[in-house]
């Protein structure tokens, strides 16, 4: 009983960083060293957490072409999947540690224009890249990939070897290493605000009210038919915008609706969804991969369409629709594969 009372008390005080401590008997256990090693992968700006290892620019180049270039481009400057990693930094920036284009404006903010700590990129590539196969790189591969990126950014020469020993040298040449500040009022709850508006109630403006910006007429339909994004009853209606064929664009169509009902054969929606296909494909819009309608149209006349599609899905595909490849889905059960390929070959009806 006493124990329970203490727990309740702690519950009450829990948010006030109370020093009262209950012994949560039987709850949780100690982590083992092996467990901590397996999960504690972060690398700090002072390089705490950085594993020993190394990788050269040339090793990185090979790895980059095989595992990274499809999304980021051969030179890290592509923007079809994500904003460019490389570009808009100069030799002068490397000298001063401030990227001048950030102040001047007008040019693209690439990763290297912003990053102030090299550990950040090592840590991130190690935990999250390649995007479709995160945590598949060895430490040496992470060093190599980063070495190649640094070379693309003109920070290190072609014969450079990046390692736990040379990371600090690279830090001293990062183009925007001095370009950040943590002096502002938005870090702490009690921080000082940088605007100080007054709650004036009457005659608060001098001069006329001027509209400085409004949506141009040609952009009115940019987000679809707004009538369909509001209820058809209540205090207001959505503005009706006559939409062309793009009305059904999945960008503004509800994100998670089913694929509809006019269809024969089994409902493939759950299969496409649970196997992750809908992350890269939509029925009638291009995402990372082609729309299923476009795939259906391309192979409409092909007699062995289902077999062809199955081999492509099973083994992966590249070069048919663009620069981004599709990873292999070898583990897809046969009946799922059959249902999906027959559905595509049959026209990918909604």
**Binders of other proteins in range 289-318 (CB under 8 A):** none
Burial class (CB in 10 A: 0-12, 13-18, 19+), 109: middle
Residue 339 contact, options other proteins, ligand HEC, none, Cβ 5-8 Å cut-off depending on partner type: none
Rounded Cα–Cα distance for residues 112 and 121 (Å): 10
Contact map string, positions 258 to 277, toward other proteins, x by CB under 8 A? ---x--------------x-
Binding-site ranges for ligand HEC (CB under 6 A): 67-68, 70-72, 81-82, 85, 111, 121, 124-125, 129-132, 137, 145, 275-277, 279-281, 288-290, 295, 309, 312-313, 317-322, 324-327, 329, 332, 340, 344
Q: Are 285 and 291 in contact (CB under 8 A)?
A: yes
Q: Which string of x and - marks every residue 114-143 that binds other proteins (by CB under 8 A)?
A: xxxx-xxx-xx--xx--x--xx--------
Binding residue for other proteins (CB under 8 A) from 1, 2, 17, 34?
17
What tokens were used for 27?
């709850």
> What's the CA gap between 200 and 204, in Å, rounded?
6
Partner interacting with residue 254 (select from other proteins, ligand HEC, none; CB below 5-8 Å by kind): other proteins
Q: Which pair of structure tokens corresponds to residue 53?
A: 């290892």
Short-list 97, 118, 113, CA closest to 167: 118
Q: For other proteins, which is the closer residue by CB, 16 or 330?
A: 16
Stretch that binds other proteins, among 145-153, 220-228, 264-272, 314-322 (CB under 8 A): 220-228
- Provide the β-strand partners of residue 56: 161
Closest by CA to 147, choosing from 32, 55, 262, 25, is 55
Q: Directed axis angle between helix 334-345 and helix 305-315, to 10°?
A: 130
Residue 202 or 334 having the CB closest to other proteins: 202
| 223 assigned to a ligand binding site | no
Binding site listing for heme c: 277, 281, 326
Binding site listing: 277, 281, 326
């Amino acid at each position: 009983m006493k124990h329970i009372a203490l727990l309740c008390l702690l519950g009450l005080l829990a948010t006030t960083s109370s020093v009262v401590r209950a012994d949560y008997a039987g709850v949780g256990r100690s982590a083992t060293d092996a467990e901590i090693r397996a999960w504690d992968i972060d690398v700090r700006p002072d390089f705490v957490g950085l594993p020993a290892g190394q990788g050269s620019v040339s090793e990185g180049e090979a790895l980059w072409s095989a595992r990274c270039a499809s999304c980021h481009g051969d030179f890290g400057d592509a923007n079809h999947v994500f904003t460019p990693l490389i570009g808009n930094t100069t030799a002068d920036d490397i000298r001063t540690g401030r990227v001048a284009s950030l102040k001047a404006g007008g040019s693209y903010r690439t990763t290297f224009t912003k990053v102030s700590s090299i550990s950040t990129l090592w840590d991130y590539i190690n935990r999250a890249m390649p995007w479709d196969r995160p945590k598949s790189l060895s430490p040496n591969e992470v060093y190599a990939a980063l070495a190649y990126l640094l070379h693309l950014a003109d920070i290190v020469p072609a014969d450079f070897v990046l390692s736990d020993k040379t990371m600090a040298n690279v830090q001293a040449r990062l183009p925007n290493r001095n370009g950040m500040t943590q002096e502002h009022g938005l870090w702490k709850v009690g921080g000082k605000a940088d605007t100080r508006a007054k709650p004036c109630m009457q005659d608060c403006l001098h001069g006329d009210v001027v509209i400085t910006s409004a949506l141009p007429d040609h952009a009115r339909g940019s987000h679809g038919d707004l009538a369909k994004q509001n209820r058809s009853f209540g205090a207001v209606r959505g503005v009706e915008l006559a939409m062309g064929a793009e009305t059904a664009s999945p960008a503004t169509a509800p994100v998670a609706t089913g694929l509809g009902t006019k269809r024969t054969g089994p409902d493939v929606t759950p299969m496409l969804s649970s196997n992750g296909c809908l992350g890269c494909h939509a029925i009638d819009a291009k995402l990372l991969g082609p729309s299923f309608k476009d795939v259906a149209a391309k192979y409409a006349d092909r007699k062995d369409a289902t077999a062809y599609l199955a081999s492509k899905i099973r083994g992966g595909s590249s070069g048919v629709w663009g620069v981004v490849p599709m990873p292999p889905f070898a583990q897809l059960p046969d009946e799922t594969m059959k249902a999906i390929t027959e559905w595509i070959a049959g026209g990918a009806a909604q």
